């Protein structure tokens, strides 16, 4: 089965949740998928960057696809993940990208609204990444949990960000995405629409941004949080997830 067939097989209501990983992240992939299964979510696909992970996951009934057979994909190359998401969006499927250490403890899809071109999580100014955008806006978009609607506006933005990264020092996709948008829109207004939810209009796109009480970037998360995506710290991510009882293996 090729990538397009896999994407369309696992998508539901034109939405597919994706994540990327390699053999070294096999335990994280198992843990991430276990949390989705517990929530009854099966429209996901783990995109493996090596054959070993793809075989390992598929043999355990976890939706997976080895991307190496479809395109040249070097995970060490700058913007590899960003370019892959762009290519997948061109298939006409709305994508929700979630890192394997962004653990779903409640279903956050209630916050997905068709009027938005993107729905993002945020990194607060207290932990800026990248700092340039945080200085301009007071926060940055976290690409570790972000939804992209497949349309001409979103695809055009991806193309602009790729070109921006190629002509600047922003080689990381998160840096390129944030710094492109904040450079073009340094004083873009932020509108509060609900508690811990804001929206922005950037480059013709309507973007909803979910705050820390919904997509938590801290180990001390609120009871109503849907996804917990702990920041990197002095201890390994697995130990962090175990310490907050989000490790199911």
Q: How confident is the model over 196-232, as pLDDT tens digits?
A: 999 999 999 999 999 999 999 888 888 889 999 988 7
pTM: 0.94
CB-CB contact of 35 with 105 (8 Å): yes
Q: Is the pLDDT of residue 74 over 80?
A: no
Q: Does the structure show a pLDDT above 60 at 71?
A: no
The rounded distance, in Å, linking the Cα atoms of 128 and 162 is: 22
User: How long, in residues, is the chain?
Assistant: 249
Is the preceding peptide bond at 130 cis, omega within 30 degrees of 0?
yes
Give CA–CA dist 190/183, Å, rounded: 15
Q: Give the Cα separation of 106 and 89 in Å (integer).
A: 25
DSSP letter at 231?
A: P
Q: For the chain, how are helix, strand and coil distributed in percent, rounded to 5? A: 35, 25, 40
Q: Which has more confidence, 77 or 65?
A: 65
Q: Which of 98, 94, 126, 114 is nearest to 212 (CA)?
A: 126
**Within 10 Å of residue 96's Cβ, how many Cβ atoms?**
19
Return d(Cα 130, Cα 209) in angstroms, integer: 17
3-state DSSP of 159-218? HHHHHHHHCCCCCCHHHHHHHHHHHHCCCCCCEEEECCEEEEEECCEEEEEECCCCEECC
Distance from C-alpha of 78 to C-alpha of 58, rounded to nearest angstrom: 28
196 CB contacts (<8 Å, ≥6 apart)? 210, 211, 212, 213, 214
Annotation: CATH topology of 3-243: Spore Coat Polysaccharide Biosynthesis Protein SpsA; Chain A (3.90.550)
Q: Which residues pair with 118 in a beta bridge?
A: 148, 207
Q: Which is more confidently placed, 99 or 124?
A: 99
How confident is the model over 130-156, as pLDDT tens digits? Answer: 888 999 999 999 999 999 999 999 999
Pick the closest to residue 84 from 3, 15, 6, 144 (CA basis).
3
Residues 6+ apart with CB under 8 A from 216: 222, 225, 227, 228, 229
Give 148's strand partners: 95, 118
Report d(CA 82, CA 190) in Å as an integer: 25
- Is the pLDDT assigned to residue 72 strictly greater than 70? no
**Band of the pLDDT at 84, cuts 50, 70, 90?**
confident
pLDDT at residue 6 greater than cutoff 60: yes
Average of per-residue pLDDT values in the chain: 90
């Amino acid at each position: 089965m090729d990538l397009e067939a896999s994407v369309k097989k696992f998508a539901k209501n034109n939405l597919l949740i994706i994540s990327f990983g390699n053999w070294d992240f096999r335990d994280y992939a198992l843990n991430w998928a276990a949390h989705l299964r517990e929530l009854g979510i099966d429209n996901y696909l783990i995109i493996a960057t090596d054959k070993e992970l793809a075989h390992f996951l598929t043999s355990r009934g976890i939706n997976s696809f080895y991307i190496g057979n479809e395109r040249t994909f070097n995970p060490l190359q700058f913007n590899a993940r960003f370019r892959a998401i762009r290519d997948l969006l061109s298939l006409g499927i709305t994508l929700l990208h979630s890192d394997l250490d962004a653990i779903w403890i409640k279903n956050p899809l209630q916050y997905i609204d068709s009027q938005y071109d993107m729905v993002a999580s945020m990194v607060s100014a207290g932990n800026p990444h990248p700092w340039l955008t945080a200085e301009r806006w007071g926060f940055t978009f976290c690409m570790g949990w972000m939804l992209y609607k497949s349309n001409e506006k979103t695809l055009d933005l991806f193309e602009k960000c790729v070109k921006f990264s190629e002509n600047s020092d922003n080689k990381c996709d998160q840096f390129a995405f944030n710094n492109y948008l904040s450079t073009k829109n340094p004083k873009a207004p932020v509108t509060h629409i609900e508690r811990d939810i804001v929206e922005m209009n950037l480059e013709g796109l309507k973007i909803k941004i979910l705050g820390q009480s919904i997509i938590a970037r801290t180990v001390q998360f609120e009871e109503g949080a849907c996804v917990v995506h702990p920041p990197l710290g002095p201890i390994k991510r697995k130990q962090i997830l175990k310490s907050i009882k989000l490790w199911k293996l």
